[in-house]
A = this chain, B = another copy of it.
Amino acid sequence: MKNGTLYGVGVGPGDPELMTIKAIKILSSVNIIAYPAPEEGASFAREIVSSNLKKDYTEIPIRMPLNANNFPIDEIYEQATYQITTYLEQGIDVAILCEGDSFFYGSFLYLYQRLAEKFEVVVIPGVSSPMACAAALGQPLAARNDALIILPATLPEESLIERMNLADSVVIIKVGRHISKAIAALEKSGLAKNAHYVERATTSNQRIFDIFKAPSPAAYFSIIIAHRRGSAWR
C-alpha cells in the first residue's frame, strides 16, 4: 500500500484570513491534524485554523511543558512521530499545523527530521511573524541594501551585540524571559531608539509597545523589531 503524505502547513501569524488558499485546501483534504499545544489548554495553531475546519478530524495535540524553553523534548516528539507514522503507513495523509511559516524556527522541524526520510513531505510556506509584526507596526522590515538579521534572544548578550552591530534591521524572536538582555543588547548596539515590541500580531489581542514599556517576561508570541535608521524608509 502507498504511504500517506505528510503536510507541514504554515497557518500564518494569527488572523485566520492570513492563511493561504493552499493551506485551507489541504485542511479540507486531510482527516488527521497534528499541532503544537501547551501542557494544558488551547493550541494557538489550532485556534488559527478553527474557522476553516470543515469536518471532524482526528486530532493529535503535541503538548509541550511551558518551561521547555523551545528545546526539543525527545520523548514527546518520538511519541508524536509514532502516532503520525501509524497513519502514514496505513496510507492516510496527515497535516501538521505550524504557527507562521513551517520552516522558520518552530517545532515542525523536530517532526520533519524524524519523518522526511521515510515519507513524502509537502511543506506549505506561510506568512511569518516578522512580516506580520512589521505590517502591524506600519514599519517596513527592510529595504534597499539593508542587512536584516533575525536573532533568538536565547543567545548570550555578547553574541547578540556582535551581530546587531553589523545589522541595519533586527528582529528578535524567543523573547520571553530574555527581554531585559535583548533590550540591553539593542541599547549597546545603538538600535534601541526606535525599537518596538509586538505581541500576538494580527490577532484581536495584538499589543504594540515601545521596548522600554514592554512587559517582562514577554508574551510567548512576541517579537522585537528595530531599525538602525529608525525606519527602513529613511
A interface residues with partner B (beta carbon < 8 Å):
10, 12-13, 15-22, 24-25, 70-71, 101-105, 109, 112-113, 116, 121, 123-128, 131-132, 134-135, 138-152, 154-155, 159, 162-163, 166-167, 202, 232-233
Contacts and interface: CB of A to CB of B under 8 A. Distances in A.
Given A19-B20, A112-B233, A147-B149, 4 more contacts: A71-B144, A103-B131, A103-B140, A144-B152
Q: Which of A16, A70, A103, A138 has the most CB of B within 10 A?
A: A103
Contacts of A146: 105, 152
Contacts of A135: 102-103, 123-125
A178 to B, nearest CB: 11
Given A12-B20, A125-B18, A101 B150 contact: no
Contacts of A145: 152, 154-155
A5 to B, nearest CB: 14
A53 to B, nearest CB: 14
B22 A143 contact: no
A22 B131 CA distance: 15
Q: Which of A70, A109, A121 has the most CB of B within 10 A?
A: A109
A56 B4 CA distance: 42
A150 B149 contact: yes
A128 B167 CA distance: 20
28 contacts: A15-B22, A17-B20, A17-B25, A19-B21, A70-B144, A101-B141, A102-B135, A103-B140, A103-B141, A103-B232, A104-B142, A105-B143, A105-B144, A116-B138, A121-B138, A124-B135, A125-B127, A125-B134, A128-B128, A128-B131, A142-B150, A145-B152, A147-B150, A147-B159, A148-B150, A149-B150, A150-B150, A166-B166
Q: Across the A-B interface, give the 7 residue pairs with the lowest CB-CB distance, nearest first.
A: A17-B22, A113-B233, A123-B135, A125-B131, A148-B150, A101-B131, A103-B134
Given A17-B22, A18-B21, A128-B128, A109 B143 contact: yes
A126 B70 CA distance: 26
Q: Which of A121, A139, A149 has the most CB of B within 10 A?
A: A149
